[in-house]
Amino acid sequence: MRNKIILSSLCLSLGVLAVGCNNQNNKTETTEAHDDHAGHDHSTHNHADADSSTQQTNPTPAAAQTAKAAALSIPEFTFYKVKSGIAYSKADIPAGKNTVFVLFDPGCSHCQNEAKGLAKNYDKIKDINVLYVSMNDPALMAQFFTTFGKELDGKENVQMLWDRNQEFVQRFHIPNMFPANYVYGPDGQLKTYWEGEKDINEVIAEFHK
For residue 123, the model assigns a pLDDT of: 98
- State what percent of residues in the chain have pLDDT above 70: 69
Q: Which fold has domain 4-207?
A: Glutaredoxin (3.40.30)
pLDDT reported for residue 1: 46
Residue 7 scores a pLDDT above 80: no
Cα(108)–Cα(52) distance, rounded to whole angstroms?
15
Paired sense of beta strands 158-162 and 129-134, if any: parallel
State yes or no: pLDDT of 20 exceeds 70.
Answer: no
Q: What is the pLDDT of residue 52?
A: 36
Q: How high is the pLDDT of residue 65?
A: 66
Buried-state track 170-203, b at ≥16 Cβ within 10 A, e below 16 = bbbbbbbbbbbbbbbbeeeebbbbbbbbbebeeb
pLDDT beyond 50 at 171: yes
53: left (phi over 0), alpha (psi -120 to 50) or beta: alpha
* 165 pLDDT above the threshold of 60: yes
DSSP track, the chain: -TTHHHHHHHHHHGGGGGGTT--TT---EEEETTS-------TT-----SSGGG--PPPPPS-S---SS--SBPPP-EEEETTT--EEEGGGSPSSS-EEEEE--TT-HHHHHHHHHHHHTGGGTTTSEEEEEESS-HHHHHHHHHHH-GGGTT-TTEEEEE-TT-HIIIII---SSSSEEEEE-TTSBEEEEEES---HHHHHHHHT-
Mean pLDDT of the chain: 79
pLDDT attached to residue 186: 98
Q: Where are the domains of the chain?
A: 4-207
pLDDT tier at 66 (50, 70, 90 boundaries)? confident
Higher pLDDT pick, 56 / 104: 104
Q: What is the pLDDT of residue 208?
A: 97
Distance, in Å, from the CA atom of 32 to the CA atom of 72, rounded to the nearest integer, reads 10
Cβ(189)–Cβ(167) below 8 Å: no
pLDDT band at 61 (very low <50, low <70, confident <90, very high): very low
Tens of pLDDT, residues 134-150: 999 999 999 999 999 99
Residues 6+ apart with CB under 8 A from 185: 98, 191
Higher pLDDT, 42 or 127: 127
